[in-house]
Amino acid sequence: MAAREAGIPRSGRVTISDIARRAGVTSGAVSLAINGKPGVSDITRARILRIADEMRWRPNHAAKTLRGQSPHSIGLVLTRPEEVVGEEVFFTKFLAGVQSVLSQRGYSLQLQMATDLASETAIHADWIADGRVDGILVLDPRVDDPRVAALLELGLPAVIVGGDQDGAALTSVRTDDGQFMRVVFDHLLALGHQRIGYITGDQSFAHIRRRIAAFTDYTLESGIWGITLAADFVPQQAKEATRKLMSSPKGPTALIFDSEVMAIAGMATLSELGFAVPGDVSVLSWEDSATCRVLHPTLTALNRDAAALGRQAATGMLRLLDREPADEPAVVASVVPRESTAPPAS
């Protein structure tokens, strides 16, 4: 009833014509008023803006795009389980880095969740059709990722974080996962570990594939025993993988986990099984967080500055929009040694 009293049409979308009819002026006068252009008196402008506010009018993004006006918004869809996004510190740091760069140029970040790649692609198409975003950031590229072809067809500027594609409308922010794995591996090797288990995230992700390939290469190169098991970034699966690896009569003396959430789940399982950390098994997380510093024992982690990765992704997007060449400063990574890693027991 309140909406009807305010003059809001049954369709729910208030147009400039609706405001003009209510204000008793032309649609052209309304357009001048709401776009801050000269041609109407201050009194008329104030009245039109008050009526637009009462009628809950919002700008039509598609119409703005047709007029050549930028929505000043960048889209990002997170296609991960809700509990993973909520628990992993990577997303908080990454988004903070993105926002810090976009806000300096007056851009906002449009964020949405999706359940699968098909849903994510549909959201991209809707955003573009409605003119809601100037460009799109993409996380977690897959091998033969269908989103790449879809984005190229849609034609909107896009940045693939962790991808390897480069073009006029689509570019990538590369992550050196092989070198990052070298840093992790060398830390455990220097401590004397000869049996290392790697419990991975989703193995359909291109960056996880690169980590696995590097891990395999380094174990062969060093002549040590190594094994990988997938846990898809899910704590329960990390527990099951830990239990499986440690059930062997001669299990690993060190475990690498692809996130701090999985590492914490793995440490809990090791405790349940009667293994001491690091006395019996060393544990290393691929992600660092404040939680890693307050656990008992504190958790050794790879610090690769997810906020810097977010800033790099946002900067790459703005340079793409400005038609400037990409500038890719390297994201550095280092192991932060804490109590959860030590030389293996003799």
DSSP state of 103: G
111 is a domain residue? yes
Beta carbons within 8 Å of 62's beta carbon, 6+ residues apart: 129, 130, 131
Q: Does one domain contain both 297 and 312?
A: no
Given strand 135-138, what is the order of strands in its sheet? 108-113, 73-78, 135-138, 158-161, 170-173
In a domain, 334, yes or no: no
Q: What is the pLDDT of residue 66?
A: 47
For residue 328, tell me if it sits in a domain: no
In this structure, the answer to whether residues 181 and 298 fall within a common structural domain is yes
Distance CA 280, CA 342 (A): 9
Residue 155: give the domain boundaries: 73-176+307-321
> CA distances (Å), 290 to each of 111, 298, 300, 303, 340, in order?
25, 10, 12, 11, 15
Task: Name the nearest CA neighbour of 221 among 176, 180, 182.
Answer: 182
Helix ranges (DSSP H) in the chain: 2-5, 16-23, 27-34, 42-54, 61-66, 82-87, 89-102, 117-129, 146-154, 177-191, 206-222, 235-246, 260-273, 290-294, 306-321
**Sign of torsion over alpha carbons 285, 290, 296, 300:** positive
Quick one: pLDDT at residue 59?
Answer: 63
Flag whether 197 is in a domain: yes
SS3 sequence of 130-199: CCCCCEEEECCCECCCHHHHHHHHHCCCEEEECCCCCCCCEEEECCCHHHHHHHHHHHHHHHCCCEEEEE
Q: Which residues contact 202 (CB under 8 A, 6 or more apart)?
A: 140, 208, 230, 232, 233
Residues 181, 167 share a domain: no
- Asked if 39 and 123 sit in the same domain, the reply is no
Residue labelled with tokens 């098991």: 229
Cα R_g (the chain), whole angstroms: 26
* Domain identity same for 142 and 217: no
The answer as to whether 65 is a domain residue is no
**156 plus 117 within the same structural domain:** yes
Q: Same domain, yes or no, for 36 and 132?
A: no
Give CA–CA dist 65/274, Å, rounded: 62
101's tokens: 């760069």
Model pTM above 0.85: no
Tokens of 139: 């996380």
User: In 3D, which of 111, 104, 170, 147 has the Cα closest to residue 317?
Assistant: 170
Question: 338 lies in a domain?
Answer: no
Same domain, 181 and 171: no
In a domain, 335, yes or no: no
Q: Encode 242-266: b = buried (16+ Cβ within 10 Å), e = exposed.
A: beebbeeeebbbbbbbbbbbbbbbb
Say yes or no: 44 and 119 in one domain: no
CATH code of 259's domain: 3.40.50.2300
Residue 19: both structure tokens together: 């405001």
CB 287 within 8 A of CB 90: yes
Q: Are residues 213 and 229 in the same domain?
A: yes
Is residue 170 domain-shared with residue 181, that is, in the same domain?
A: no
Give CA–CA dist 57/19, Å, rounded. Answer: 8
Number of domains in the chain: 3
Q: Are residues 149 and 232 in the same domain?
A: no
Q: What is the pLDDT along the chain (346 residues), one digit of tens a residue?
A: 344 444 554 445 677 778 888 999 887 788 778 777 788 898 998 998 899 888 877 665 555 544 555 678 999 999 988 888 888 889 999 999 999 999 999 999 999 999 999 999 989 888 877 778 999 999 999 988 999 988 888 888 999 998 887 777 788 888 899 999 999 999 999 999 999 999 999 999 999 999 999 999 999 999 999 999 999 999 999 999 999 999 988 899 999 999 999 999 999 999 999 999 999 999 999 999 899 999 999 999 999 889 999 999 999 999 988 888 777 666 788 999 999 999 998 7
CATH number for the domain that contains residue 20? 1.10.260.40
211 part of a folded domain: yes
Quick one: pLDDT at residue 57? 74
